[in-house]
Amino acid sequence: MRRFAVVGHRAMAKGKLPLNDLAGGAGRMDVLIRATMAGLLTSHGLRNDTIVVLHLMGGPGPPRRIQFDGASLRGIHAEERSIAGTIGKITALHLPPIGRWDEVSPGLSHSGGDLSTTLREWSGTTTVVLDADAPRLWSDKAILPTNGSPHDFDLTFVLSDDLPLEPTFAEVGLKRSLGHLWLQGHMAVGVVHFLLDEGVELNLG
């Protein structure tokens, strides 16, 4: 299983989502939506081995988490505004208590809590915090296989929007980079999928 925890520091947690201002009034919700699309969508379908949890930390009110589970997700389209509309329906709902996931539709649920809550729920997996200043995610001996065989590791990847993670969260797992440049979130998710799909030897020690 591949899990992506995406933190939106200013992303709206409650209220009517401004679909025409996702980058501004919605608190860079556009960044989270693109990461969701990269995490779940292939050219002609959905990844059934991937979960994406968005952390809407920008208020008003307590933070909200939205979980997309590719194994059972239905009705998600490869279009940013469509996914924004889905998120907007959730931000208009009453916030469930921390630790309880309320299903909105197959594969789509929401809950209270923040990144620390999610990481506690995923405590049995290896957690990788993506950081351009850290050692590479792939090993020094890694080669690109000509006939790739996907990894079946149970991995969690943590990434942020355009703001850095709080130091407490940044230290929760292995820090690994995808190169010396700070990539946009959806690009980072795509690179991670590529490495796992092709079975490139990873640096997880």
Write a three-state SS string for the chain. Answer: CEEEEEEECCCCCCCCCCCCCCCCCCCCHHHHHHHHHHHHEECCEECCCEEEEEEECCCCCCCEEEEEECCCCCCCCCCHHHHHHHHHHHHCCCCCCECCCEEEECCEEEEECCHHHHHHHCCCCEEEEECCCCCECECCCCCCCCCCCCCCCCEEEEEECCCCCCHHHHCCCEEEECCCCCCCHHHHHHHHHHHHHHCCCECCC
- Domain limits at 62? 2-198
Q: What is the band of 147 on the pLDDT scale with cuts at 50, 70, 90? A: confident
Q: Is the pLDDT of residue 168 over 80?
A: no
Q: What is the band of 146 on the pLDDT scale with cuts at 50, 70, 90? A: confident
What pLDDT is attached to residue 171? 66
Q: Is the pLDDT of residue 170 over 60?
A: no
Closest CA to 195 of 154, 148, 157: 148
Q: Is the pLDDT of residue 163 over 60?
A: yes
Q: Is the pLDDT of residue 176 over 80?
A: yes
Q: What is the band of 44 on the pLDDT scale with cuts at 50, 70, 90? A: confident
Q: Share the mean pLDDT of the chain.
A: 94
Q: Is the pLDDT of residue 135 over 60?
A: yes
What pLDDT is attached to residue 173? 85
Q: What is the band of 57 on the pLDDT scale with cuts at 50, 70, 90? A: very high
Residue 18 inside a domain? The answer is yes
Q: Is the pTM above the cut of 0.85?
A: yes
How many domains does the chain divide into? 1
Residue 203 inside a domain? The answer is no
Q: Is the pLDDT of residue 101 over 90?
A: yes
What pLDDT is attached to residue 169? 64
What number is the average pLDDT over the span 175-185? Answer: 94
Q: Is the pLDDT of residue 104 over 60?
A: yes
Residue 79 inside a domain? The answer is yes
Residue 204 inside a domain? The answer is no
What pLDDT is attached to residue 78? 85
Q: Residue 196 is which amino acid?
A: L
CATH code at 66?
Answer: 3.40.1280.10
Q: State what percent of residues in the chain have pLDDT above 90.
A: 85
